Structure 1
Amino acid sequence: MNPSEDPEIHSDGSEESDDAAAPKARTVRSSRACITCRRMKTRCEIDEALGNACKLCIRARRQCIMQDLPRRRKRKTTERVADLEQKINALTALLSANESNSPVDHKKLASAHGDSTGTSASKVQTLAKPDNTLIAEALSRGLFTWETACKAFERYKNEMCRYFPFVVFASGSDAAAVKQQQPLLFFAVITVSLASMQTTVDAELCDMLIKDLALRVVYTGERSLELVQTLIVHILFYGRAKNMRDLNFNQMVHIASTMALDIGLGRRPHKSTLTQRTDPHQLESLAGRRAWLGCYYMGTSVSMSLRHPAFVRWSVYTEECLDVLSDEASVLPSDMWLCDLIRIQHIAEDASVTFSMDDPGAIVTLRDVKIQYQIRGFRQQLDYWRRHAKTDLTLPYVRHVAACTDLFIHEIALHPEHDIDDLRSPLRTALAPPAAAVESMTSKFKDLHFIPARVEALFACLAAIHECFDAFLSIGFASMCSLPNIFFVRTGYAARALRKLLNICDSQAEFEGRSHVDVRDLKFEEYLTAIIDVLRRVHAQNNSVVARAFCLVLSQIKTQGLNSSKLLSAMKRADEAATTRSRVSPTSASSMPSNERFDLPCLHSDESQQSQRTESLTYDSGDLNSAPPPQLPHDQIPLDAQTQAKSAQWLENDTDDAFMSGIDVLQWFEQDLAFDDPAAYDYDSQLTARYWQQ
């Protein structure tokens, strides 16, 4: 046989017949060379008329052997691609279920991919959980109807979000559209809105929301702008779950801030375009900027109140967000107040850093001229903010925020030698300090109480406290029931500051025989009584646990202030004597004591100092000419037997309120601290329906 006709010699690697393989061989030979030509690096030319052998092999009379083609293996799909395909199928099923508004059967979705592994099946089942499961479950269980949900959404959109407009909706937003696009955020809005009304399902809804957030954030590690907004709404109107022992709003704030940083908020992008700002799904949208400003505000507020180092600080991106929200044509009306709110918060943040509010061991004293100039600088910044704020400054909640900021920048005047730890609980008693410690404390008061800068700062604190109380009491009752928790927290902070001012007045009268601040000007009992009454009414209206907590705490502050203050006791005895005399010659008297001076045997002032609002109070327990008896400092005064019996549980729990923190007051509620008997304040068992309606 001719070698050129031998099929085994010129094999092309195919198992088919020669007739079927001839065209394929010619195609292959046209682009390949035989083994001999490849070794000799010569051109392999095939003459079809002579057969399948090349010309060089025919001329040399040798076999023309072609190398077999490697058989290509069929490309297999990797496990990752298969997993992605399963996820796509699961998401497709979810979209179909959402469009039909029918609940999704998780078992059917999990069984649709029977060839997947156990891990993949669990992932599919986790992802198969629709975002509106909470709403569907609440509706199916009859916790609320769709009409109630729409009313609650309108309540949040029109009333509740105006105080801190971090998560807002346009006036034309429809509840059904928000439910379809952001179901988890919609459920959070419904939860906080129903909690501000007299409902019995708010605790159940809050429990459902917290469990779902824990599953998404901690277990599955989800991150999205919607989750950040949901956390912000939950923190502003914080309510804890049924079985939760301790409050964890501080952790929730940091979770929201960390998630915002993880998804790209908090920093400027490389390329900022108009499309990125207007697209609602872009992180650089207006909603994303509002969410980041909310993280900044809550993070700095918590760090200032708890005296922790700030996790979120002012940045260039924060300033850029304010510029965008101020200049954009498509901004909402609430963005104007949002920008003013963040700017005044920046002033408070700078004051916290300047005065080392997170470091009790720092040396900050008003005898330092630099500190005095810094306080004046913050006053000027606050005045500049008031002049250039675009928001109506007569609104009660705006006045409240401004007054609390004013109090915070002057707070160091309440602490001699930056001793923040001197703010102990009013119910705390301790052993008498040694004589050297008393002398050191006395010299400290002598050095500081007569510094004009500190006296000026104390009067600024008093004015800020009264402005805070007036703003809080001027809020309508309907609006009071829908206030965010931070308003109650800061009102408690102002009450603690007023209690500290009362301690300063008593200490000055005790050690020096006179006080620069008139104790009547504090209006301690009048303001606290009015605020406690408002908090009781709020709790009776919507069963607010926050209002109840601060009602109890302010009652504690009021009771212990009245029991421990010698000046207030002397004033009460003088008022009783005046009432007795008025029975003989009745005169008109106002319910709220004014700034008018009365001739009390225990309170005397220098008329030359009265014009400068630095009235000096002479302390005497009975005789005008008698020397003041030696007494302990007011935070060391032993309580009477009745008060000691009531405060036993309080004292057993070593709660440190040294930082004058309103948020600490909120954390006391139902934690390790046990309040005095609520019945002592006619709060629980002794309260009747008629009393709550007053």
Structure 2
Amino acid sequence: MDNTTSTDSPRRLKKAAPACEKCRVLKVRCIRHEEGQPCTKCARSNSECVVSEPRQRARVSQRAKPRLADLESKLANIISLLSHPSAPISGGVQPPVDLDCGLAAIPEYLSDSPNPSAEWMNQLYMASAELDEGLESSENHNTIENTLEKSWDTSTAIDAAWITDLGLGPVVLEHLLDRFRGMASYYPFVRLSSGWNAASMAEDRPFLLLAVAAAASSNYCHLQDALIQKFKESLSQRVLIAGEKDLDLLQGLLVHLAWFHFHFVPGSQQTYQYLQIGISMVIDLRLDQEAADLLEQRTELGDNYIREACRAYLGCYYMSSIISMSSGKPNNLQFHEAMLRCAMMLQQQPEFDTDLLMYPVTKVLQFAEEICETYRFEGIHGARLYIHAERFTTRLEEWWSSLSTDLRNTVLLINGYHAVKIRIQEMGLVYCYGQRRPPPPKAQDEFTMLSTPPMIISNLVKCVSSTKEFLDFFFTIPAAQHGCLWDSQKYLNGTGRLHSNL
């Protein structure tokens, strides 16, 4: 009996301390420097640190032991299949091995194969869920150490409880991270460092990890629906109830907005509401005021936080401009010269290839904002509309010609070029910018197609032609990559403009 007690005591010391009620609700890591003292989060907020008594685990019956052994055998078989060179996963090609978790990574699903191997993801997902269900009724920690020790520490699960709630294994999460990295060129404002993996992000960036997993799981609709639901629950708990604000939340929200078409409901105002939350975070984190100062103080972007903050600042402006232009609603994060300085610094000291896109993308958004403001002050019945359209078209073509060939071949800039070209030629007749001021009834009666100046009709015909060019380009994108494209509403807006003008 004494021997048993002496061998069990070290194991008890390794068990993670229970989280307090506040950290458990917020699903964040509960850190105590000394036993009996409040955690760091409660200490900062001067709130009471309450730890509930842990519930006693039910003992494992003799009938449950064979089931646990069977589940371990299933998981071992899946790992061996993924690791074996002859496994029929991607045409006989051996998948790369992830040294961090010791498991063979799931191969890239964005291959030339029209039918991705979804059954491998589902089989691993179901096996992980069954394993978690069986372990919940067990007090035998040897099983936990054998199955999860190679992926991440069990205390990390406190920071991202949705991982265990959905039964996601490390192989699945690493695959989703790799797939999101392949989607970065379509929305380069949130990038994942090469040193980040599922374990490190679950500890440091749990909300961003959740948003990335939801955006990258478009091939698995049921899993994506569950992840989106977890995203909304976490957003409401941390932002609306607890009032938290940090870069992790802002980046996760931007990723969610960028690929909002996966859960878009026609007629819903949720996109604009989420955007306002992101803008408020930019203001509360003082990114709009301190970004330029930080860049001027540090000529080299050695601080990763500054790089990520600059990208998030520009990314929020990007989403605000696009959503306001497509919906006709006010843009509450308008252009500022500090944005161009941030973009220029990222372009001059790039960490990723996509940092080279920051300046031209910001420049074309500034140009689009100038167009909208000009048409708003001119009015939809202004006599100089076609003159403005010709002037803006000339400036756009000159700017486009000044870009390098590599930049002109990027999907993001091609989209921006065509969208602004359409925006110029519709001359504010399709969308009203800012406060809607309809013309008086007499002007409406007198305004007919026969009274429309020929130059305006000519520009509208050009608008239809430009929309066709835009759609022709969209159809050249392989269908397998459509799930990687950010917010399809932008493409739908082009089609809607075509029908409106017709």
Task: Provide the TM-score with structure 1 as the length reference.
Answer: 0.47
How far residue 193 of structure 1 moved from its aligned partner, in angstroms, is 0.9
1:270 positional shift: 7.2
1:244 Cα deviation after fit: 13
Larger radius of gyration, structure 1 or 2?
1
Deviation string, structure 1 residues 571-610 (Cα, Å, up to 9, x no partner): xxxxxxxxxxxxxxxxxxxxxxxxxxxxxxxxxxxxxxxx
Shift of the 343–275 alpha-carbon distance from structure 1 to 2, 3 Å rule, reads: closer
Q: Shift of the alpha carbon at 1:442?
A: 6.6
Which residue number corresponds to residue 95 of structure 1? none
Name the counterpart of 1:278: 302
Give identity over the alignment, percent.
20
What amino acid does structure 2 have at the position aligned with 1:138? I
**Ranges in structure 1 where 5+ consecutive residues have no aligned partner:** 1-99, 424-436, 503-694
Counterpart of 1:261?
Answer: 283
Alignment match, 2:242: 220
- Point out the structure with the larger helix share: 2
Matched pairs, number? 370
Given that residues 397 and 472 in structure 1 are in contact (C-alpha distance below 8 angstroms), is that contact kept between their aligned partners in structure 2? Answer: no
Question: For the residues of structure 2 that align with 1:242 and 1:342, how far apart are their CA atoms?
Answer: 26
User: Counterpart of 1:315?
Assistant: 336
Which one-letter code corresponds to 2:381 in the other structure? T
Q: Does 1:135 align with 2:160?
A: yes
Q: For 2:473, give the aligned amino acid.
A: A
- Displacement of 1:397 in angstroms is 4.9
Residues 134 and 141 (structure 1 numbering): CA distance in 2 closer, same or farther, change over 3 Å? farther
Report deviation, 1:380. 2.2
1:470-509 pair list within 5 angstroms: 470-485=472-487, 488-502=488-502
| 1:54-102 Cα shifts (integer Å, max 9, x gaps) | xxxxxxxxxxxxxxxxxxxxxxxxxxxxxxxxxxxxxxxxxxxxxx795
**Using the alignment, how far apart are the partners of 1:396 and 1:300 within structure 2?**
18
Q: Deviations over 1:642-672 (max 9, x none)?
A: xxxxxxxxxxxxxxxxxxxxxxxxxxxxxxx
Going from structure 1 to structure 2, the CA distance change for 1:183 and 1:296 (only over 3 Å counts) comes to same
> Which residue is 2:461 aligned to?
459
Task: Report the CA distance shift for 1:135/1:244 in structure 2 as closer, same or farther (over 3 A).
Answer: farther
Structure-2 separation of matches of 1:218 and 1:182: 19
Contact 1:413 1:454 in 2 (8 A): no
Please give the alpha-carbon distance, in whole angstroms, between the structure 1 residues aligned to 2:355 and 2:187.
Answer: 10
Matched, 1:151 2:171: no
1:601-680 mapped onto 2 (5 Å cutoff): none
Distance 1:247 1:385 in 2: 34
The amino acid of 2:418's aligned partner reads A
Mapped to 1, the partners of 2:359 and 2:388 lie a distance apart of 24
Counterpart selection for 2:253 from 231, 234, 238:
231
Q: Does the aligned pair in 2 maintain the 1:366–1:453 contact within 8 Å?
A: no
Any unmatched runs of 5+ in structure 2? 1-13, 25-29, 53-154
Contact 2:156 2:203 in 1 (8 A): no
Displacement of 1:216 in angstroms is 1.3
Where do residues 11-90 of structure 1 align in structure 2 (5 Å cutoff)?
none
* Change beyond 3 A, Cα 1:299–1:271: closer
One-letter amino acid of the counterpart of residue 421, structure 2? D
SS in structure 2 at match of 1:445? coil
1:520-561 CA distances to partner (integer Å, 9 max, x unpaired)? xxxxxxxxxxxxxxxxxxxxxxxxxxxxxxxxxxxxxxxxxx
Q: Does 2:459 match 1:445?
A: no
Cα RMSD over matched residues? 4.0
**Residue 338 of structure 1: aligned partner:** 358
Q: Once the 2 structures are TM-superposed, how far is the Cα of residue 407 of structure 1 from its aligned partner?
A: 0.7
Are the counterparts in 2 of residues 289 and 321 from structure 1 also a CA contact under 8 Å? yes
Displacement of 1:441: 4.5
Post-superposition shift, 1:252? 1.1
Q: What is the Cα deviation at residue 347 of structure 1?
A: 1.2
SS for the counterpart of 2:235 is helix
Q: Secondary structure at the match of 1:444?
A: coil
Q: Which residue of 2 aligns with 1:601?
A: none
Q: CA deviation at 1:331?
A: 2.7
Instruction: Give the structure 1 partner of residue 399 of structure 2.
Output: 385
Q: Which residue identity is paired with 2:322?
A: S
CA contact (8 A) 2:159 2:202 kept: no
Shift of 1:231: 1.0
- How far apart are 1:176 and its partner, in Å? 3.4
Equivalent of 2:20, from 77, 92, 106? 106
Whole-angstrom CA distance in 1 between matches of 2:260 and 2:354: 22
Q: Is the 8 A contact 1:149 1:190 kept in 2?
A: yes
Range with bigger deviation, 439-448 or 181-190: 439-448
- Name the SS of the counterpart of 2:243 in structure 1: coil
Counterpart check, 1:300 vs 2:321? yes
Of residues 348, 359, 372, the one that matches 2:386 is 372
Q: Does the Cα contact within 8 Å between 1:206 and 1:240 map onto a contact in 2?
A: no
Give, as a single letter, the amino acid of the residue that structure 1 aligns with 2:181.
K
Larger CA deviation: 246-255 vs 263-272? 263-272
Q: CA offset at residue 166 of structure 1?
A: 0.7
TM, length-normalised to structure 2? 0.64
